[in-house]
Amino acid sequence: MVGCWSISSHFPGEMRAIPASGTVDKAWATGYRASRKNLLSRWERYWTMSSVQLPDKVLEKQWYLEMYKFGAAARKGAPPISLQAVWTADNGKLPPWKSDFHHDLNSQLSYWPAYSGNHLDLEEGFLEWLWMAREEGKKYTKWFYEAEGLNIPGVTTLRGQPMGGWIQYSFGPTVSAWLGHHFYLHWKYSMDKTFLRERAYPWIKDVVQFLDQITEKDETGMRKLPISSSPEIYGNAREAWFRETTNYDLALIRFAYSAAAELARELDLKEEAERWNSILKAWPQLTVDPESGLMFAPGFPYDESHRHFSHLMGFHPLGLVDQAHGEEDREIIFNTLRNLEKHGYDWWTGYSFS
């Protein structure tokens, strides 16, 4: 016996996508054998794009499992991957995390396999969605921060509207800088000059223009945020607000200005590149403890097991701290990783181990 079913949805007042009945009719017309052949052909092409061989076969198996999930969930023209992707189970109630889009880690790391995995085409759905949400983000930025430029809310609806939550992270000032990292990486892996000119640089330029307006200077003349946080350090408590700029925010800010200068140079916008470099020099370096490595913020070392390594942003994924830079960075990295191991993995989750 052969069966066929589909699900479709649409926003009220908007053009309907192909209804479920139309998808089913098309599948019946194609037939089971041809449909199965098309599906197998797609996966065969998918697995020829990248592979790994690891001495640890458990890790190797995990890589293939996660790449399968990515290939099953990511699509151009489809909504981005939420926390449970297409496998969200609501059990008749509100789904976990309201089935929203969290941009303090969840949406970003879901698309990292696109780069080294050689699947830039599957990342395009995420970039398309971000570009769609850009105008909504600009409205929010003007309303919430009373500033020009762009900062997407940290927790959003499918339309990019703010949903709230723990305020430190759902309204954090560096969300769009992290999302901009995807535009930057897509350019670096594709070298698509049109994408650079029409998508990557405009996004990151909007981000640094926003940051330029909300920052202030300390008594030494260096820039800082008026208030800062580090997901999800100290949870939703008052202590989650830091007076000094955290390594999380600082790493994203330094990345944004550095990327803006680099992309402006690529487009031969020399004056803009010089401006972004000039502002970058007014930001301090990441806070480092000689023994424990990268810290949460000045005076706050990593001193307890935690699931969200937000203080490590400068190392991964941003690569501001890199062994290729020399012995000093190498020592910072190894001290940081040793300190992670020292405090154990009691509060780690799956992505923490990855």
The pLDDT tens digits of the residues spanning 323-341 come to 999 999 999 999 999 999 9
The pLDDT tens digits of the residues spanning 238-289 come to 999 999 999 999 999 999 999 999 999 999 999 999 999 999 999 999 999 9
The beta-carbon contacts of 67-72 under 8 Å, at least 24 apart in sequence, are 67/113, 67/117, 70/110, 70/113, 70/114, 70/117, 70/119, 70/122, 71/43, 71/46, 71/119, 71/122
Class of domain 53-87+95-353: mainly alpha
pLDDT band per the 50, 70, 90 thresholds, residue 148: very high
pTM as predicted: 0.94
pLDDT of residue 31: 93
24 pLDDT exceeds 80?
yes
177 pLDDT exceeds 90?
yes
pLDDT of residue 277: 98
Provide the mean pLDDT of the chain.
93
The pLDDT tens digits of the residues spanning 75-118 come to 998 889 888 887 877 778 888 778 889 998 999 999 999 999 99
Q: What percent of the chain has pLDDT over 90?
A: 81
pLDDT of residue 15: 61
160 pLDDT exceeds 80?
yes
User: What are residue 230's phi and psi, to 5 degrees?
Assistant: -150, 100
pLDDT of residue 113: 94
pLDDT of residue 16: 65
Domain boundaries, the chain: 53-87+95-353
pLDDT of residue 351: 84
Q: Which residues of 206-238 are buried (b: 16+ CB within 10 A; e: fewer)?
A: bbbebbbeebeeeeeeebbbeebbbbbbbeeee
